[in-house]
Amino acid sequence: MLKRHALAIATLFSAPFMPYAGNVLAEESKAEIRSTINDQQNVTVTIYNNNLALVKDQRKIKLLTGVSTLAIRDVSAQMRAETAFLRSLTSPGSLTTLEQYFDYDLLTPEKLLEKYVGKTVSIVKTHPTTGEEKIEQATVLSVNNGVVLKIGNHIETGIPGRIVYNDIPANLRDRPTLVTQINNKVASEQTVELSYLTGGVAWKADYVAELSPKEDSVDLSGWITLTNTSGTSYNNAKLQLVAGDVNRVQENYPRAMSLRKNQELMVADASAPMAEESLLEYHLYSLDRPTTIAENQTKQVALLSANGVPARKELVLRGADYYYQSQQGDLGTKIKVGVFVEFDNKEVSKLGMPLPKGIMRVYKKDALGNAQFVGEDNIDHTPNNEVVRLKLGESFDVTADKKQTNFKVLPRPSKGNSAFESAYEITLKNAKKEKVIVTVQEPINGDWIILSENRAHKKVNSALAVWKVEIPAEGSATLIYRASVKY
């Protein structure tokens, strides 16, 4: 029955949405000026991080003088109505907004039935044998967890037949609508602009980097992935993106409408990377051509492209600070060595464009020339002249065995302090057919000093000692050192 009910409603709206005689909706439409998406001249969408967008919707509308009601349809269903601002572009100062409200209670069979609680509807019952239809009047008593109807002198639950409604309530619309009461001084066709903030429109950056055969450069491409679940489309929109952490006051906003889970995937033309400029303490990216962001669509547009960006691969074995103040013995065997790739975001490196945060996926071609996925990592917002560093995974062929060979507690240098001396042996193994260099990083807290070592270290900062250890092909190398630490 519900399916037939929905079909009846769909049939009612199969023609273009316009008033018709004898309908209360027709009376309502006479009292208001309606603007649809067909009136739209231009639309600009500026999308921020964290699911926020600024929409500037320009429409050409014929307005009357004096006070009238203007219903602007096809706006975002997740509009923050308190941010809506309407102005005339062709007659500045002629338009004043007196009141406004946002109708996002959209027309569905369920919503229509809810609006008729306490009202009378017609129930059409069909005889199962003869097909004869019988019409009865019923009062809708409740629609909570099912339908309760009063038909004559008895109560029925469920829907015993098709429901026929006399009209559609004025506060139930088929599209999200901002209704404004305006006072207009100039009777003419005007271009007005409605600007507002909305949720449901988001973007994120995705990057693809391909390592060269020698692993000393990358070919980099950046994509912007747009997702629109706001409840409306933005046709031929001027697209701008703001990268940065914009402060927002956290409030609870009602969810305007339920959105479909299925989204259309569309990849746009990648021939036009985006232009970039500074905006306060953020960065603004602008697409140099209009693009359509359809309702319930995920879409990609090109951000940047750079070939032959110099890169550096690094194998890193990182320790911990806890074993410098206690006796440990063996610290691990076949310890995995991390694989990192980094490059400079500089013009001299064929980049130099501030990079929005996102995921960078790295590929490398195999012996047959097929690109294979070798790892991914998140990057934060990266300004010009900064380093992009990616952890791709753990090395299969390079491992380490690590042990503490000596430990002793030293006499306390002063009351409340403690001092320790410990020695370590790290054996690095390389199963590759070429030599590799492993960076050994040892975090050491307190006041520390390396007493002895078989390879020179570098004190990178007050809490980190670093060794560069070269390991021959299919061979091994050992790092031995002794440290004294005061806490």
pLDDT score of 354 more than 50: yes
Q: Spell out the domain ranges in the chain.
A: 2-197, 310-486
Indicate left, alpha or beta for 368 from its phi (over 0: left) and psi (-120 to 50: alpha): alpha
Predicted pLDDT at 170: 65
Average of per-residue pLDDT across 142-163: 87
Q: How confident is the model at residue 251 (pLDDT cuts 50, 70, 90)?
A: low
Q: How confident is the model at residue 152 (pLDDT cuts 50, 70, 90)?
A: confident
DSSP state of 106: B
DSSP state of 355: B
Which has the minimum average pLDDT: 134-148, 253-267, 352-366, 451-465? 253-267
pLDDT score of 23 more than 50: no
* pTM for this predicted structure: 0.70
Q: Which residue has the tokens 């429409």?
A: 59
Higher pLDDT: 143 or 211? It is 211
Query: What average pLDDT does the chain have?
Result: 85
CB under 8 Å to 256, separation ≥6 — which residues? 76, 77, 78, 79, 104, 176, 231
pLDDT tens digits along 426-474: 999 999 999 999 999 999 999 999 999 999 999 999 999 999 999 999 9
pLDDT tens digits along 172-207: 677 888 999 999 998 889 999 999 999 999 999 999
Token pair for 415: 């009351």
Average of per-residue pLDDT across 233-242: 93
CB under 8 Å to 218, separation ≥6 — which residues? 209, 210, 211, 212, 309, 311, 341, 343, 362
pLDDT tens digits along 288-304: 889 999 999 999 998 89
Predicted pLDDT at 102: 84
pLDDT score of 258 more than 70: no
Number of H helices, E strands in the chain: 3, 31
pLDDT tens digits along 406-436: 999 998 877 778 999 999 999 999 999 999 9
Q: How confident is the model at residue 331 (pLDDT cuts 50, 70, 90)?
A: very high
Higher pLDDT: 94 or 281? It is 94
Q: Classify each residue of 350-379 as buried b or exposed e, where b means 16 or more C-beta atoms within 10 Å of its C-beta.
A: bbebbbbebebbbbbeeeeeeeeebbbbeb
Q: How confident is the model at residue 264 (pLDDT cuts 50, 70, 90)?
A: very low
